[in-house]
Amino acid sequence: MKHWLTLGLIMSVAVLSDAGAQAYLPKTDDEIVEVLPARGESWLEIRYLRKQVAAQPNDLEPALALVRRYIELGRAESDPRYFGYAEAALAPWLTVAQPSAEVLTLRATLFQNRHEFPAALEYLHWALARQPRLAQAWLTRAAILEVQGQHADALNSCLPLLKLAEPLIGQVCLNSILSVSGQLDTAYRQLARAVSAAHSAAPADQQWALITLAEMAERMGNTDAADSYYRQALQVPRRNGYLLATYADYLLDRNRFQDVVELLANDTRADGLLLRLTFAEKALRLPTAAVHIDALTARFAASRMRGDTSHQGDEARFLLHVLNQPESALALAHTNWAVQREPRDARILLEAALASGKTQQQLQPLLMFLTESKLQDVRLQTLLAQIGGSGV
């Protein structure tokens, strides 16, 4: 899922096997199971914010600042522990008689990270009932509805941002949704103009806009522009796990496996990034591939045992492209499609269907969605041509 990067990822010191629920044990004393994040500037900032919360336990603002920072770090590092810390810090403020709209929105964001979209939308509904001009609530609502393929409702959630948020935020929100609902060319031009005019936009907003433009360019088949926008986004001095994943996918599609290894060699904690690194290592026949395949197998198994469904798209890719299990990949891709409907979700579903020898009659819900949404994506067009369908 985009932006909050559904690299929602799991790492664990003791992961469990699928069948026996047995603790994973390193094969040798030298095997590195986990690498903790560096304690740099972010750690000092977190320590300061925690002291502020401790010193002012009845003041909401320090708690909100701490929760927001945890969420930012969770997204940047693709580290689920930060989301857990955020939940713990927010919990006391959800038990008050009337939780504030900001508290409800942050709770919705945490639900969103776990792909619990109905709960997230319910909390956002409450938040907006209390504070209709809360831009973050509208933005989060738009993002969830876009992921679910509810494009008309998502657009309606973007419209208030044109007045309530910085200009670039509203433009990214609006054009991102237009680009997946039949107006890709127009949205691309509009967003490119908005980025050119946004000289004073915050780095995070600039990066978000550049990533969105890169993804649009990929769907249009303009690979040179996509590469340029991805590299501009990487130059923004702000780590972004979603960006690393999407750019790695771009490189994988072009068989630039060594570039993927260089991009992600130090990012093995996040499942989504490790998956993409493993794709590249397998293609290059590197010895590290086998170790990482074992690690991913255990991590996805542990995720299923927890009832965590936020990794189904990535796991379907793992089953299909690494373990060569097309039927299992197809079943999981179908389950994932019931939850989220982004272009990448359609792609793995089509790829698994093709590998399983399915016909277009067995993909009617997907084909109907593609036709009705008017989603444009050259990568999907190629797959649809192979399966005998149309619609993008």
Per-residue pLDDT tens digits for 279-312: 999 999 999 999 999 999 999 998 888 888 788 9
Q: Once rounded to an integer, what is the mean pLDDT over residues 233-259?
A: 96
Given a cut of 50, is residue 10 above it in pLDDT? Answer: no
What is the pLDDT confidence band of residue 8, given thresholds at 50, 70 and 90?
very low
How many C-beta atoms surround the C-beta of residue 266 within 10 A? 10
pTM of the full predicted structure? 0.86
What's the rounded mean pLDDT across residues 246-268? 96
pLDDT in the model for residue 303? 85
So what's the pLDDT on residue 26?
A: 61
Instruction: Name the band, by pLDDT with cuts 50, 70 and 90, for residue 360.
Output: confident
The answer to whether 7 touches 245, Cβ cutoff 8 Å, is yes
* 21 — pLDDT class (breaks 50, 70, 90): very low
Q: Output DSSP code: residue 23.
A: B
Distance of CA 143 to the CA centre of its chain: 11
Res. 40: pLDDT tops 70: no
Q: What is the pLDDT of residue 3?
A: 47
Give the pLDDT score at 349.
96
Which residue would you say has higher pLDDT here, 199 or 345? 345
**Residues 181-187: what's their mean pLDDT?**
97
Q: How far apart are CA 299 and CA 272, in angstroms?
A: 11
The strand ranges marked E within the chain are none
pLDDT at 4: 35
- pLDDT (average), residues 23-31: 58
Could you say which DSSP state residue 199 is in?
Answer: T
Q: What is the pLDDT of residues 58-76, one digit of tens each?
A: 999 999 999 999 999 988 8
As a whole number, mean pLDDT of residues 134-149 equals 97
Distance in angstroms (rounded) separating the CA atoms of residues 126 and 104 = 7
Share of the chain above pLDDT 90, in %: 77
**268 pLDDT exceeds 90?**
no
Q: How far apart are CA 85 and CA 78, in angstroms?
A: 14
**Digit-coded pLDDT (tens) for 105-118:** 999 999 999 899 99
Chain mean pLDDT for the chain: 89
Model confidence band, residue 33 (pLDDT cutoffs 50, 70, 90): low
pLDDT band at 78 (very low <50, low <70, confident <90, very high): confident
Mean pLDDT of 270-279: 95
**Mean per-residue pLDDT, 317-339:** 96
**CA-angle at 324, arms to 319 and 330, nearest 5°:** 50
pLDDT given for residue 210 in this prediction: 98
In this predicted structure, what is the pLDDT of residue 1? 53
* Cα angle: 85, vertex 91, 94; to 5 degrees: 150
Question: Over 80: is that where the pLDDT of 9 sits?
Answer: no
Q: Give the pLDDT mean for 128-155.
A: 97
Q: Answer whether residue 20 shows pLDDT above 90.
A: no
Long-range CB pairs of 325-330 (<8 Å, 24+ gap) are 326/352, 326/355, 326/356, 327/356, 329/355, 329/356, 330/355, 330/356, 330/358
**d(C-alpha 291, C-alpha 8), whole Å:** 21
Q: Report CA-CA distances (Å) from 243 to 136, 190, 346.
A: 21, 21, 20
Are 295 and 275 spatial neighbours (Cβ–Cβ below 8 Å)?
no
CA-CA distance, 316 to 203, in Å (whole number)?
33
Q: How confident is the model at residue 2 (pLDDT cuts 50, 70, 90)?
A: low
With a CB cutoff of 8 Å and minimum separation 6, the contacts of 17 are 24, 298, 301
